[in-house]
Amino acid sequence: MESHWLSLFDVSIDFGQSHLFFPRIVTWILVILLGVILLTRYRHVAPGIKQAGRALAGRGGEFDRKRFFGTIVLTTIYFYMMGVLSDVFPNTGYSFLICSIVFVLALSLLYIDHFSRRLLLIVVVNALIAPTLAWYVLAQLFRITLP
């Protein structure tokens, strides 16, 4: 009787499809949990999404769109250009060095509130020295692979 009852839980895994066995279970759990969250927290979800949309569109709260999207755009350009230049200077780290100098300078300028000549000098010196130092220590001294 007991073994008959336990046989309800029998399972055999087809080796050809075994790569999907666990992911299917996890996906179903995820879908069920999402459903439960939407059902139990619908009062919080809709206003939350609305608020996030307003903030991203720049119509609500203290969301600094310039700095937020500026960071994402500059980082994307930084990564893209690093890939492009690494084909021009393969295995030297020059692509990292050149792109990092420009990126550090551009991002620092984006983050500064009030410009002054002194501040500008600090930012430029930092953008030149820090990536160069990182490139020298990592690529030249420690032989770490850089783009």
Partner 1 sequence: MDILSHLTPLFFGLIAAGTLVGIIFGAIPGMTATMAVAVCLPLTYAFGLENGVALLLGLYVGGISGGMVPAVLLNIPGTPSSITTTFDGYPMAQRGEGERALKTGIVASIFGGLFSAAVLFFFAPILADFAIKFSNVEKFLIILLALTVIASLCSNLLMGIFSGVLGVWLSLIGTYSIMDGGNGETRLMFDWMEYYLIDGFSLLPVLIGIFGLTTVLLDAEKSFKDEANQGRISLKNGKKFSFSVFKGQFLNLVRSSSIGTFVGMLPGVGGSAASVLAYSQEKNFSRDSSQMGKGAPQGIVSSESSNNALTGGALVPLLSLGIPGDSTTAILIGAFTLQGIQVGPLFIGNNMDTWYLIIIGLLVANLLMFAIMYLAIKPIAKVIEVPKYILYPLIIMMCVVGAYAINYGIMFDVWTLLLFGVFGWIAHKIGLETVPLIIGFILGKSAEIYFVKSLESYGNYSIFFTKSPIAMLLWALIAMSLAFAIYINIRNRRHASMQS
Separation of CA 121 from chain center: 30
Residue 64 DSSP symbol: -
d(CA 117, CA 55): 33
Minimum CB separation from partner 1 for residue 47, in Å? 12
Residues near 127 by Cβ (< 8 Å), separated by ≥ 6? Answer: 101, 102, 104, 105, 108
> Is the CB of 33 or the CB of 57 nearer to partner 1?
33
34 residue type, one letter: L
Min dist CB 61 to partner 1, Å, is 9
Shortest spacing between CB 48 and partner 1, in angstroms? 7
Minimum CB distance to partner 1 smaller for 94 or for 138: 138
Residue numbers at the binding site for partner 1 (CB under 8 A): 6-7, 9-13, 15-16, 18-23, 26-27, 29-30, 33-34, 36-37, 40-41, 48, 52, 62-64, 67-68, 70-72, 75-76, 78-79, 82-83, 86, 96, 100, 103-104, 107-108, 111-113, 122-123, 126-127, 130-131, 134, 138, 141-147
Least separation in angstroms between residue 109's CB and partner 1 is 8
Consecutive H or E run containing 81: helix 65-88
Distance CA 106, CA 118 (A): 17
CB of 21 to partner 1, least distance (A): 6
Whether residue 44 contacts residue 65, with contact meaning beta carbons closer than 8 Å, is answered with no
- Give 94 or 134: the residue with its C-beta nearer to partner 1: 134
DSSP state of 92: T
Nearer to partner 1, 1 or 141 (CB): 141
